[in-house]
Structure 1
Amino acid sequence: MERQFPYPLVLDGDYSPHLNRRLWLVKWLLVIPHVIVLFFLWIAFLGLSVAAFFTILVTGRCPRAIFDFNVGVLRWTWRVGYYSYSALGTDQYPPFTLADDPNYPARLSIERPQSLSRGLVLVKWRLLALPHYLIIGVFTGAAFAGYDQVRNHNAWAYGSGLIRLLVCIAALVLLFAGRYPRGVFDLVVGLNRWVFRVSAYAALMTDQYPPLRLDMGGHETHTADAPITIGPDPLPAG
């Protein structure tokens, strides 16, 4: 029997098997306006996350305005990534909005906690999330980039990562076969879901530790006998 997965962050993507064969070749150009906007939004995201850190440390709560804004940045990022080279899951151009768009095929939402642990805020973003950082570094290419920086004496390097590799395979299949392989799609969305769960946890938006498992598929459902989440229990507030 299936039920909704209880993790506070829900990330969905509608599967579209038949996409334009060649549009992905120019999506890097089409998303430039979004990339420019997201550059400034992420600067604000980081600044507000620092403000949230001190607010949670003192009051045990994240201000509603900061939480909603940061959720909007993650949501916007997921839509652009889903359209472009984090998934290539749709040809529908992303909207320029922080708000939820129920009609867009990529959606992200986070349940706002009533309170957050003032103890966890000191350690979860850098210590407790470290195992996840190592894992998603392989997904995103950050791990390979870091290795190349050390090997090349801190020279700039960029790693493609598992997600980009799978999206490249899907793009080639789409180009020649005219369809997006469902198995690749489910895996790509699952990897992105893991990345965004860790991002929300590290950004102090939840105390619930991200599960150390891959939940694949466009929509978040799981069976009652799914593996138990691994990770530390949240400390009591205050």
Structure 2
Amino acid sequence: MTHLAGFPDRPVRVNARVDAPLSRWLWLVKWILAVPHYVVLFFLWIAFCVVTVIAFFAILFTERYPRALFDFNLGVLRWNWRVAFYAYDALGTDRYPPFSLGEEPDYPARLDIAYPERLSRGLVLVKWWLLAVPHYLVIGFFVGGAHLGWWSSGLIGMLTLVAAVILAFTEKYPKDLFDLIIGLNRWVLRVSAYAALMTDAYPPFRLDMGGPETPDAEERT
């Protein structure tokens, strides 16, 4: 497992790299190919919500997020990020996402969240609804509130559609556009981790563009 305690200033790290070459036309059917994942994720997100409620009371009484529950919710977020990266939140790879809650270090989309030894009892009461409201307004614009067929009407979905059209005609994924899309997804995932009580570090109002947040040679056990 990755050592994450070494970056308390950045407890949520989102990494991604675009695969090359990418198929010109596979993106047209990825929504069909990803259906099995969507079915599984539907039930995983129900479990995620239940686990978060249990974690809320655990933090409130013990100041700790039970490690097993934390690892499960981290796994759900990782799974969701890999599917989003494959499908219509990035289209950054043609590699089919694994059905896994694990880290999957070889997959081009990765998510790491540092496990907190202690969490604030006071913050757990307000951070997921009151403190996070400004971020909800921002990421609501990113992800949109409606879907056009299978595609989100938010900024991320629209930019990914632009990338898909460019890819279809040029066989290339514009680097600047990829960096922007990853930056937007990074913002969403940081807020998701905060709202899910997995960190007390308030998400920055900052668009960190680009793929990797960690060096390729990060320490591992």
TM-score, length basis structure 1:
0.83
Q: State the alpha-carbon separation in 2 of the partners of residues 6 and 19 from structure 1.
A: 35
Q: Cα distance, 1:190 vs. partner?
A: 0.4
What is the distance in 1 between the residues matched to 2:57 and 2:8? 30
User: Aligned to 2:15, what secondary structure does the other structure show?
Assistant: strand
Of the candidates 69, 86, 92, which is equivalent to residue 66 of structure 1?
Answer: 69
3-state SS of 1:114 partner: coil
Do 2:152 and 2:158's aligned partners in 1 also have CA atoms closer than 8 Å?
Answer: no
Query: Do the aligned partners of residues 29 and 159 (structure 1) sit closer, same or farther apart at CA in structure 2, a change above 3 Å counting?
Result: closer
The residue type paired with residue 184 of structure 2 is: L
**Aligned equivalents of 2:61, 2:137: Cα separation in 1:** 30
Which of 165, 173, 176 is the matching residue for 2:169?
176
Report what 2:200 is aligned to.
207
Contact conserved, 1:18 with 1:180, CA < 8 A, in 2? no
- % same residue: 63
CA distance in 2, matches of 1:29, 1:9: 30
Cα distance in 1 between the residues matched to 2:93 and 2:40: 20
Contact 1:85/1:164, CA 8 A, preserved across alignment: yes
Query: Matched residues in 1 for 2:80 and 2:197: separation?
Result: 18
Residue identity matched to 2:141: V
Q: CA RMSD in A?
A: 1.6
| Structure 2 match to 1:111 | 114
What amino acid is the match of 2:171?
A: G
Is residue 120 of structure 1 aligned with residue 113 of structure 2?
A: no
What is the distance in 2 between the residues matched to 1:18 and 1:185?
Answer: 14
**Alpha-carbon distance in 2 for matches of 1:215, 1:57:** 32
Residues 78 and 110 of structure 2 are in contact (CA less than 8 Å); yes or no, is this contact kept in structure 1? yes
Q: Distance in 1 between matches of 2:21 and 2:170?
A: 10
Q: Does 2:188 align with 1:195?
A: yes
TM-score by length of 2: 0.90
**Residue deviations 1:188-217, cap 9 Å, x none?**
000000000000000000000000110000
- 2:139 is matched with which residue? 136
2:89–2:157 contact (8 Å) kept in structure 1: yes
Q: Work out which of the two has the higher radius of gyration on C-alpha atoms and give 1 or 2.
A: 1
